[in-house]
Structure 1
Amino acid sequence: MVSSAVRSLTPWLPPETAGLSGATASTLGNPVLNHTVCRMVPLAMERPGLERVPAVAIALGQLVKQSLALRSPTGGWPADLPQTPENLAPYLSEETGELLEILAAVEPGLECDRTLVPVPTLVPHLLWMLASSGYEIMRLIEGVQAHIHSPEAQGAAYVIRLVPVLVITVDGASYALDLVTQTDPVPTLYLPESSEIRLLENDLDSQPRPWGDLLTKIAQQVSDHQPGLAALLGDGGQVDILQPWQPWQPATLHLHLHLAEMAVQGQAQPALAASAVPEALYLPPPSWSSTPATTPSFTLDDFASTLVDGPGDATTGVLGDWLTFTDERWVQTLLTTSAQRLIAQHLPQLWSGLAGDLTAEQRSHRETVCNRITYRAADLVQGANGLFKHTFVHEPVLVADLWPRLRWYLAQSSERVMQLLGGVSAQVLPPGLSWQQGSLYLRPLMQLTTPQRSWIVDLSRGRLLPTSPQALPGDAAVDVTDAPWRGQLSVAELATLVDHDLTTFTPAIAALRQGTPIHLHRLDAEAGCQLGQLTLNWCFTL
């Protein structure tokens, strides 16, 4: 997915990297890692996975449906009985048993063989896995404003970011890499885990908490949503690596999480390049240049660079109004599929332990594991708003807080979608013109419509647009130069790939293309609360 660190992080990148719109994935700051290849089992669950097996999908849906029904306010749960995995288990035993029974009947052959993965390819993949684990995690990786309470900070407001560090240990030597800047880590910027922080941006959970506690919750959230990273966050993952002039050697991968201070709030930052997310369809023929693009790949830096430039733009116009989703059917689809997806990530683990004849104790253990996973999945989509919750759809939400959340739902659907949101180096041949080179962007557009007027919000930057940007024609040829799915495609074929990812992994977001009814609470209008519709569309621009 990724290629460099976000352009919004430019002040903290090395001078030789900061001038680029993104450091390429093939030019890591560590020359040793840049030429290292790993032989390993894929970290992310292969798709189509177990949850795509029809019988498994039905059983999974029934388990989530019953779990959410039991935990709902109208579910009839005794008020004096805590809702714990152990207490809920007897009421879910039928659905849990059916899912495990169906999994046990799935034919072998779904296990993944070890594959060769160059470290420059592994780095963006790890970043996507982390960012897709939670909205707050993605925002922390990109960098957010926060109050820091520590003996050194004295409650000042800073820009902080989550620093994921990949450590590869081989033959007694260790190599460390900051996954975001793709350079050597800078431990002097790390905050002590005893520091208390309070997040300040958007509707992020602003409860003050020790950084160490938040770090523990982040690690648990990542392990829940991407079980393949659990070993890396713990004792380490075992792989084989190959380096120039060396034989294959056993190695250990670790993933360490830190919080780093980036700048004091208000510190001047360089303006983003005007071409970061261009409005034009393509360069006019006289301006065409044959110079190769300098950024053939993409990292979370490129993705975060599409954020709004300054806080002054954040609540302009309709962005400062409140929105309520009124279609409960759509709301439940969003919540249910979010819960199902978390459980689906653990299906390979559950399936692998069901082979052969199990003892009663082993079966009981599998049921206990499944109950705990189901409990955590339901907890994310029910109850009060809070850290890592999807429950913002139950209450009025500021439009300025909604667009970055929708942007995350798009990005976490697949690594490919996140790459395209941040921009990929490509050549495009529109009919009637010559080849054009630049960054190809997936542009998601949220349209809010009331009987009186409508607004278009560019989810790439959170800006109001006077009209939709001019999109690349569907019959234009596209050559993506640095992506796992690279090759000659038409824009229409690329759009089909995106539609497939969204429909398969985030069906509620894909359904927004047809629109969903809303109430728009306009604070600057006499009408006050107005009936309206939210529609989500996407197109490609260069």
Structure 2
Amino acid sequence: MIEPQPPIAAVPIEKNSESAETSTALSFAEFDFETISQTIVKLTDLEFKADSELNFGGQDLSIVPNFYLHSEASPILFAAWESLVKIVAHLLSPASGWSSDLLRTPDNIATYVTEEACEVLDAIESQILSENLEVRSKTQLNTKAPSYVLIKELIPRLLWYIARTSDDLIRLLTGVEARVFQLEKGWIKGMLRLTAILTLDNIAAPWSIDLATNQPPRSRLNSESLIQWNDCYYAQSPIESEKLLQQFLKRIVEVNPEIITFTEASNIDFLEPGKDWQSGKIQLCLDLEFIPDTETNIITPTGKPNEIPNNSRINILEFAAGFETDLDSDNYSQYRPVSGLQFKITNPENIELYYLTTVQEQLANFIDELLNVDLTNIQDGQSNELEVLIFDFPDPNLDDDLEELEDENETNNLADKTSDLKNENLVLSVVTSACEVAKRFQQSMELSEVNARSPQMLMADLALKLLWDIIRSSYEVMKILGGVQAQVLQPGGDWQTGTLCLVAILQVNAGHSRCNIDVVTGQLRNSNTKLLVSKAIATSQESDLCKYPVEIGSLAKRIIRKLRESSPEIALWMDGMEVELRSATASSADLLQTNWQSGVIKLSIGFELLEKDSIYI
């Protein structure tokens, strides 16, 4: 659990101390999150634009792509995409002969694969125009966006946009092991964390808040500090922190164009409890926080970094529910990670299906982004619908009223979007998407075709990937995964009040060895964990999924159905996958043998109610 930070003195805007490690963003003289969270914000810029007669995005705004590429994608499209992914995977691998002086970023990689990227874009254009891709549409949005929002409601929404961008970012939000080079200190290892900082620029009471901790930003890296993080292709070679942040911000805006409203400072009026209306600017910024290990852990040329204790990490779902899971409760075994568990898929049919699912799912994600509204050319007065997207956008993945496009004009709108597919930005976008999937196979692309399609994976990486898939599927699903205050009535019992949580568990069976891994925490759960029965009734004013009383079984089925649709990989693991498993470290040797053994991994979904005395507030 993150301890509250002591009050800190306010500092002028953009003023940093001489020491980058101790610099502090602007904040209240005495930081009061409760007051900040209850502050009402009125987005005056967007309210002005709402009066404009210009129609931003037209009907395209209502298009919610949902692709089933296993049967729908043409052989030409998949072949072009697979070829690009394989080349990118080779360029990302140590065997590529890539110059150590050149960063392996999508920008640099794009120089070598422009022709292949254009072939993918040509195939997508052809497929859209021939209507071979299944595109579904919902009713045109006609609800006027609210002009007001509470800061406490804005915080989780903004963090969700960041977390859903990529699994790299969700890792970085929680903290990752990395090394940093700083002048006069050399290379130091420690925990690197991405901080999402919401800043209010106001003369009377400026403040700045780390959205994941609900505290003032504690420290920041000098913009010229070098970062090396081996698990991220942006930072496999040392890169300046400022350039790394620029890459992340660019990717976030590409995936979530509506967030540009906040990444570029917006004028607001705000009403703080006990005060009159004031004016200011609000902006979302990214920064990096680095927590060094002890002085004895300074990295030498031959030194190897030690694992950072998991209890130093931040639970990505804290911001959604305002609490941390109690890892000392009876639901969990002794607190320890399962990072030493490895597995590989063995069934030939499953190997092929897993490979196709992974490659094609990323292709579907890219096409989804491609059909999003392009915000690079927004004119004044055209951004009203951004407010709809952020504050009042119906959840497409939990809307059962989807209908196939029938109107010829809507189809023509899709065709218009393909008229300039091969511009530089789109080439870079398709290469970036190829990098996302290629990094999962890059270590084995030099091996046989079968091994390349079934790389050895860590159980912890699988859990994090599935967590990301669940989080990005829906904002409402993310909220209930983190926990919402609710009332539950179980058959034969009385009404109970507590925190209702969606539970995702990886069930691992290998011979006589069995264990349950919590996808959210990455920790072992006891096999006798008590989940809510399907006939229990739940209701919560904090979740649109159960604002009115609903049976737990019905709610679970609805979420499972939509998770299967939004992520084919989740569907594979829900059905169960035959694998071989082993323990690669001594710390996990009591869970599994060190030699490979046959087993099954299956993802299950349920609900639990954490009563107040089992939660850290």
Question: Normalising by structure 2, what TM-score?
Answer: 0.64
* Aligned: 1:127 with 2:159: yes
- Say if 2:502 and 2:608, in contact at 8 Å, map to a contact too: yes
The answer for the alignment partner of 2:174 in structure 1 is 142
Matches within 5 A, 1:147-158: 147-151=179-183, 154-158=186-190
- Say if 2:227 and 2:235, in contact at 8 Å, map to a contact too: no
Matches within 5 A, 1:35-50: 35-38=40-43, 49-50=63-64
**CA shift for structure 1 position 47:** 10
**CA shift for structure 1 position 48:** 7.8
- Say if 2:163 and 2:472, in contact at 8 Å, map to a contact too: yes
Post-superposition CA distance 1:478-522 (Å, at most 9, x none): 122323443322212321332133122112213312101212134
Post-superposition CA distance 1:360-394 (Å, at most 9, x none): 9996534435554333323321267689xxx9984
Matched residue SS, 2:223 = coil
The unaligned stretches of length 5 or more in structure 1 are: 1-6, 16-26, 278-296
For 2:420, give the aligned amino acid.
H
The answer for the alignment partner of 1:10 in structure 2 is 3
The answer for the alignment partner of 1:34 in structure 2 is 39
Which of 222, 229, 233 is residue 192 of structure 1 equivalent to? Answer: 222
Matches within 5 A, 1:180-329: 180-186=212-218, 189-199=219-229, 207-230=237-260, 232-233=262-263, 236=264, 241=269, 243=271, 253-262=282-291, 264=293, 299=319, 314=336, 319-326=339-346, 327=350, 328-329=352-353
**CA shift for structure 1 position 463:** 2.5
Residue-pair matches, total:
484
Q: Aligned partners of 2:428 and 2:309: how far apart in 1?
A: 45
Matches within 5 A, 1:140-179: 140-151=172-183, 154-168=186-200, 176-179=208-211
Which of 311, 314, 330 is residue 354 of structure 2 equivalent to? Answer: 330
Post-superposition CA distance 1:203-242 (Å, at most 9, x none): 9976543322321221232123222224543xx2657656
Matched residue SS, 2:3 = helix
The answer for the alignment partner of 2:24 in structure 1 is none
- Say if 2:536 and 2:551, in contact at 8 Å, map to a contact too: yes
| CA spacing shift, 1:217–1:174, aligned 2, 3 Å | same
* Aligned: 1:439 with 2:535: no
CA-atom RMSD, angstroms? 5.1
| CA spacing shift, 1:403–1:494, aligned 2, 3 Å | same
The answer for the alignment partner of 2:478 in structure 1 is 418
Which of 420, 427, 449 is residue 365 of structure 1 equivalent to? Answer: 420
| CA spacing shift, 1:361–1:181, aligned 2, 3 Å | closer
Matched residue SS, 2:532 = coil
The unaligned stretches of length 5 or more in structure 2 are: 9-31, 51-55, 91-95, 97-109, 298-307, 379-408, 444-450, 610-617
Q: Aligned partners of 1:32 and 1:521: how far apart in 2?
A: 47
The answer for the alignment partner of 2:433 in structure 1 is 377
| CA spacing shift, 1:174–1:124, aligned 2, 3 Å | same
- Say if 2:506 and 2:602, in contact at 8 Å, map to a contact too: yes
The answer for the alignment partner of 1:528 in structure 2 is 595
Q: Aligned partners of 2:200 and 2:552: how far apart in 1?
A: 39
**CA shift for structure 1 position 127:** 0.4
For 1:483, give the aligned amino acid.
S
Matched residue SS, 1:36 = strand
| CA spacing shift, 1:383–1:180, aligned 2, 3 Å | closer
Post-superposition CA distance 1:455-485 (Å, at most 9, x none): 2222233233341411111111112232344
For 2:429, give the aligned amino acid.
I
Matched residue SS, 1:181 = coil
Q: Once the two structures are aligned, what percentage of the paired residues are identical?
A: 19
| CA spacing shift, 1:454–1:98, aligned 2, 3 Å | same
**CA shift for structure 1 position 304:** 7.0
Which of 49, 66, 69 is residue 82 of structure 2 equivalent to? Answer: 69
| CA spacing shift, 1:72–1:94, aligned 2, 3 Å | closer
* Aligned: 1:495 with 2:519: no
**CA shift for structure 1 position 156:** 3.7
Q: Aligned partners of 1:414 and 1:196: how far apart in 2?
A: 35
Matches within 5 A, 1:448-463: 448-463=508-523
Post-superposition CA distance 1:129-156 (Å, at most 9, x none): 1011122212222233433321365444
Q: Aligned partners of 2:480 and 2:498: how far apart in 1?
A: 13
Post-superposition CA distance 1:305-346 (Å, at most 9, x none): 57899xx95456xx5232113422123213321331233033
The answer for the alignment partner of 2:612 in structure 1 is none
- Say if 1:28 and 1:120, in contact at 8 Å, map to a contact too: no
Q: Aligned partners of 2:363 and 2:340: how far apart in 1?
A: 30
The answer for the alignment partner of 1:349 in structure 2 is 373
For 2:341, give the aligned amino acid.
D
Q: Aligned partners of 1:63 and 1:226: how far apart in 2?
A: 29
Q: Aligned partners of 1:427 and 1:30: how far apart in 2?
A: 27
For 1:376, give the aligned amino acid.
T
Q: Aligned partners of 1:38 and 1:135: how far apart in 2?
A: 31
Q: Aligned partners of 2:463 and 2:499: how far apart in 1?
A: 23
The answer for the alignment partner of 1:403 in structure 2 is 463
**CA shift for structure 1 position 124:** 0.7
Q: Aligned partners of 1:31 and 1:366: how far apart in 2?
A: 44
Deviates more, 1:438-447 or 1:154-163: 154-163
For 2:433, give the aligned amino acid.
A
| CA spacing shift, 1:111–1:160, aligned 2, 3 Å | same
Deviates more, 1:398-407 or 1:503-512: 398-407
For 1:36, give the aligned amino acid.
V
Q: Aligned partners of 1:269 and 1:361: how far apart in 2?
A: 51
**CA shift for structure 1 position 412:** 2.3
**CA shift for structure 1 position 262:** 4.8
**CA shift for structure 1 position 164:** 1.1
